[in-house]
């Protein structure tokens, strides 16, 4: 079985849900605490054993490439000023030369098209796909758990979580088939079904391990929901040739493409950090007390 060595990050989206913040800054570069959103997703891939990071970008996204490059003047200045901690943190996050590739989507035809744009860079091997809007928080990362599962089952794996049944029209939804000791067989995949018509309330949360045969299908995939070339439609076709397994992720997922999810991620990641937890908890409690004076702070 081939290892999952490569990961694809589709980062060409315009970020219209987040204007005006994203007028000049890519949404993937907005910061959650002190790291850009894209860094969380790349770190997750690295932790899962990924060795090559493939970004499908678009116009106005050049700063993402700069972010993953060596900043010689900065590194040198930090070294000279004795800021070794900051320097080593930057160096730890730094991909090695040759570990990143960038290609442009050129036309905004949807997620399926963005993934297809990575076909030459991925080649004939399985790959991870991480949607950078979604960042996750758990002790073991979502992709790491999926890679472990993949090493047992092979084939294709999609991470899912439960959503409010009234919100199925926002996501790709899967049907749950027979249980396996590692997850379940995926029976159906539908992109953005209307509430009441969805096969379940298990939504695709933005992490996939896919076989390269998906590219051949994407090449001729017709437009689907939202008049876009949908990855979910292509996966449904691939599912007729190869098994798809569902992995039910039980950590937290934040949709950083929306202001609400982004703010929630900032609060959650600040509270998660041991150097910030105490102060941030106090700040949040004080703000809530001031805004809702009738709310009694529980003591003890």
Question: Which residues of this protein are in contact with ligand G1P, per CB under 6 A?
Answer: 111, 131, 133-134, 171-172, 191, 203-204, 206, 231-232
**Least separation, in Å, of the C-beta of 131 and ligand G1P?**
5
Interatomic CA distance for residues 280 and 278, integer angstroms: 6
In the chain, DSSP assigns E strands to 6-10, 31-32, 35-36, 52-57, 100-104, 127-130, 134-137, 156-162, 172-179, 184-191, 202-210, 244-248, 252-255
What is the DSSP-derived secondary structure letter of residue 227?
A: G
Nearest residue relative to ligand G1P (C-beta): 172
**Least separation, in Å, of the C-beta of 253 and ligand G1P?**
9
**Least separation, in Å, of the C-beta of 297 and ligand G1P?**
36
**Least separation, in Å, of the C-beta of 264 and ligand G1P?**
15
Q: Enumerate residues 6+ apart whose C-beta is below 8 A from 154.
A: 1
Interatomic CA distance for residues 130 and 47, integer angstroms: 13
The CA-CA-CA angle for residues 167, 263, 42, to 5°, reads 85
The number of beta carbons lying within 10 Å of the beta carbon of residue 101 is: 16
The nearer residue to ligand G1P, 112 or 126, going by C-beta atoms, is 112
The full DSSP string for 170-198 is: GSEEEEEEEE-SSSEEEEEEEESPPTTSS
**Least separation, in Å, of the C-beta of 173 and ligand G1P?**
8
């Amino acid at each position: 079985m081939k290892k999952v060595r490569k990961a694809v990050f589709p980062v060409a989206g315009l970020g219209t849900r987040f204007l005006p913040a994203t007028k000049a800054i890519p949404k993937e570069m907005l910061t959650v605490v002190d790291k850009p959103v894209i860094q969380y997703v790349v770190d997750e891939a690295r932790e899962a054993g990924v060795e090559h990071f493939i970004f499908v970008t678009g116009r106005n996204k050049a700063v993402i490439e700069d972010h993953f490059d060596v900043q010689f003047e900065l590194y040198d200045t930090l070294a000279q000023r004795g800021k070794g901690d900051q320097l080593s943190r930057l160096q730890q996050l730094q991909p090695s030369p040759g570990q990143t590739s960038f290609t442009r989507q050129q036309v905004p035809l949807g997620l399926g098209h963005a993934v297809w744009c990575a076909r030459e860079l991925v080649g004939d091997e399985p790959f991870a796909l991480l949607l950078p809007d979604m960042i996750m928080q758990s002790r073991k990362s979502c992709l790491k758990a999926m890679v472990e599962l993949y090493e047992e089952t092979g084939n294709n794996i999609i991470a899912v979580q439960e959503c409010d049944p009234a919100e199925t029209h926002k996501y790709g939804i899967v049907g749950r088939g027979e249980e396996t000791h590692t997850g379940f067989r995926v029976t159906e995949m539908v992109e953005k079904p209307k509430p009441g018509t969805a096969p379940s309330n298990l939504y695709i949360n933005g992490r996939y391990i896919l076989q390269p045969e998906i590219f051949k299908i994407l090449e001729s995939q017709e437009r689907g929901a939202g008049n876009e070339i949908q990855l979910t439609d292509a996966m449904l076709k691939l599912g007729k040739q190869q098994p798809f397994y569902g992995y039910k992720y039980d950590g937290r997922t934040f949709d950083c493409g929306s202001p609400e999810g982004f703010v929630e991620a900032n609060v959650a990641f600040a509270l998660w950090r041991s150097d910030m937890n105490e102060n941030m908890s106090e700040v949040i409690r004080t703000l809530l007390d001031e805004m809702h004076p009738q709310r009694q702070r529980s003591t003890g």
